[in-house]
Amino acid sequence: MAPRATSRRAVSIVAVIGGGFSGTLFALKLAQNRPDLRIHLVEKNALPGRGLAYGACSPFHLLNVPVHRMEVGLTPTFADWLVKNRINLQDALAESGGDLSSAYVPRAVFGDYLEERLAAALPVDRGAGIVPVRGEAVRLMDQPHRGVVLHDGREIAADAIILATGNLAPRAPGIADDWLYDTSWFVADPWTRDAFHRLDPSASVLLLGAGLTMVDVALKLADNGHNGKIHAVSRHGLLPQTHQAGGAWEPFLKPLIPSSPLKLMKVIRAEADKAQAAGVPWQRVIDAVRPTIASVWHSWTGAQRHQFLRHLRSRWDVHRHRMAPRISKALADLIARKQLRVTAGRIREYRKGPGYVEAVISRRHKRDEVIAAERVINCTGPRSDFDRLALPLFSDMKRRGFIVPDAMGLGLESSDCALIDRLGRPLGWLFALGPLTRPAWWEVTAVPEIALQIDRLVADLSRTGRIRGPAPPPLAEAFVDLGAGI
């Protein structure tokens, strides 16, 4: 049985660190459930409610799931809000055959929805309810006080602190010859405002990574009028697969738990073959696996988890994290007209050229390839190795023993949502949501799982007196069938 969270007094003030999707939805639901609470929503950007996922995007960037998978229990529903606000969804509805629930809509639109719901929930005065705070939390208050200190010296006292910082900026791939990372040729984070600053439209661009971030960046370059060559390099050179509607497949993995990663992947592959032979898209097989992922992850040993991450993760990711059909078509067009080229390999070294950089790509069983580029953009996805990160708030919590980064660099150790301290105790006042808790669940980055986490934590914090975190298996089993098109 998992350890239980330490006891605490009844909560009256809550500090939520991070005003993106996770933090905003948590604040909205907690305020609805406990209108007597004072909830500080701390966000360093000017507009809470959007976050990186739904803020740093262009109109053509689409949600990776259809509308019905973005319903999170708010009123009005996302679908009703889209209809009421007469959002132009002509392309999305044409693609989905007129079915709004199955349509892939722009990410920014969901950001508008969250931002509006937050604005509607703000109290007239600054008493109870949600209190937006613009600032960055850099450390915890000194004991015996509990709360956070902001970068400008302000202090926010709180009975409970919720970390909802979402995905962090990507980490540059490790390489001995890393001088490039200190030059203007290198873009460490593709979502910064100056990522494409002074980039010649005809320049050659190198994208590190071939996942969904690369897809977003490549399409943004094309939308900006870039006509130069775009090179994408990743270890396996695998591109995300495409969503496909229709069909159904029954869950099948639960009776096989526990089994090794290799055995389960073989079973999944066999089921996909059976589904396609029966005229059912293989995507439904992956969807059928989703409810058992947390249980599978719990059943694996540390060595098995490491085996999966090192050898099988990349293939799982491209089938699990898929593209909307319109995005897939746009990417295929870029490749067909030879503007985008994807290469499997590793960066062996960088060499300086006159006004550009040369990347030497080591390819398996092939000669090295040299790619000249005037901009190298890091699209490797969010980092989560908190044992190496030097972010002020997390460094402070680690130094004081309140958090424990996991050994595989996935996030922070937790029991349900309660963070575990260095003595192995789940704390009754410090919690985390979303990607920070990946060591416990592996996949907890999609809206349905995070919404479930939020509902459970809201229920816990709404109790008076003692609080105890449920053991992981119940929450793992609560990851129900998420349906087609997730």
**Block mean pLDDT (10 aa), the chain, length 486:** 52 92 95 93 84 73 88 93 88 90 91 92 83 95 93 95 91 83 92 88 96 94 94 95 92 94 96 96 93 90 94 93 93 96 94 92 89 95 85 94 94 93 94 93 84 90 54 50 45
- The residue segments making up the domain with residue 372 are 179-241+323-378
In a domain, 448, yes or no: yes
pLDDT for 185 equals: 93
Question: Are 194 and 301 contained in the same domain?
Answer: no
Q: Which two tokens stand for residue 375?
A: 């901009």
Question: Are 327 and 459 contained in the same domain?
Answer: no
pLDDT for 123 equals: 85
Largest CA distance in the chain: 67
In a domain, 413, yes or no: yes
In a domain, 8, yes or no: no
Question: Are 228 and 273 contained in the same domain?
Answer: no
Decide which of 358, 378, 398 is a domain's last residue.
378
Decide which of 361, 378, 395 is a domain's last residue.
378
Secondary structure (DSSP) of 319-384: HHSPBPHHHHHHHHHHHHTTSEEEEE-EEEEEEE-SSSEEEEEE-TTS--EEEEESEEEE-S-B--
pTM of structure = 0.89
Burial of 419 (0-12, 13-18, 19+ CB in 10 A): buried
Using CA atoms, how far residue 310 sits from 315, 373, 448, in Å, is 11, 29, 26
In a domain, 78, yes or no: no
In a domain, 174, yes or no: no
Q: What is the DSSP letter of 287?
A: H
Question: Are 467 and 403 contained in the same domain?
Answer: yes
pLDDT for 2 equals: 52
pLDDT for 5 equals: 52
pLDDT for 486 equals: 46
Question: Are 153 and 135 contained in the same domain?
Answer: yes
Q: Which two tokens stand for residue 246?
A: 């229709």
Query: Which residue in 386, 452, 359, 457 sits closest to 27, CA to CA?
Result: 457
How many domains, in total, are found in the chain? Answer: 3
Decide which of 301, 320, 339 is a domain's last residue.
320
In a domain, 213, yes or no: yes
Question: Are 232 and 345 contained in the same domain?
Answer: yes
Question: Are 184 and 232 contained in the same domain?
Answer: yes
In a domain, 301, yes or no: yes
CATH of the domain at 122: 3.50.50.60
Question: Are 141 and 204 contained in the same domain?
Answer: no
In a domain, 397, yes or no: yes
pLDDT for 11 equals: 67
Question: Are 213 and 301 contained in the same domain?
Answer: no
